[in-house]
A and B are shown apart, each in its own frame.
Chain A
């Protein structure tokens, strides 16, 4: 079975600071993908960053980067230089044949 766990229901960070969101997952597959999705208030889900499990190099997308620890099945998201527009629910997800989400972390960025 495929599971994703996010242990931080809520996080807050001051504008321009750095914040890290945690995620652990479990899968018996060797080939899988990991994702972080962002869901702003009352808006639709959009992709933040993607990591292929066979790649050792951590993915980065501008201010967003991941720390992928395959052996530990850990996949954390680091947001640098936080902006007010980063305020949203963040979902970690794993994909083998379908995408399975964690319960989410609500991130609030304060001025």
Chain B
């Protein structure tokens, strides 16, 4: 079991640049979630996929954010025209919704974004 992996682990970028993060979920998991976590706060829901379909996107998420999961496996999260307020840890998680029906999410190590 390789777990959920995220790449890169750290990203430093200048304001106004675009960044893209990748998440590889546990192989048989059909759901994939993106969260954002700022220091000392709980993870904030951004969006989630069931297979390749994006089922929900947070209203807090601006149009500068886009996520894809083209073949129902890995996912990418892109932030365009980054702002300093985008600095945070971006967490990916995956789960299996049927059979066990436990809804337990397995989290990756996160990508820490710093916008200078």
Contacts and interface: CB of A to CB of B under 8 A. Distances in A.
Interface of A: 4, 6, 33, 35, 37, 43-47, 50, 91, 95, 97-104, 106
Contacts of A46: 107
Interface in B20-78: 33, 35, 40-45, 48, 55-56
A4 B40 CA distance: 16
B108 A44 contact: yes
B105 interface: yes
Given A44-B110, A45-B91, A102 B103 contact: no
B104 A50 contact: yes
B108 A97 contact: no
B42 A44 contact: no
Nearest to A92: B42
Contacts of A43: 109
A46 B91 CA distance: 12
Contacts of B2: none
9 contacts: A33-B102, A45-B93, A50-B102, A95-B103, A98-B48, A99-B33, A104-B40, A104-B41, A104-B42
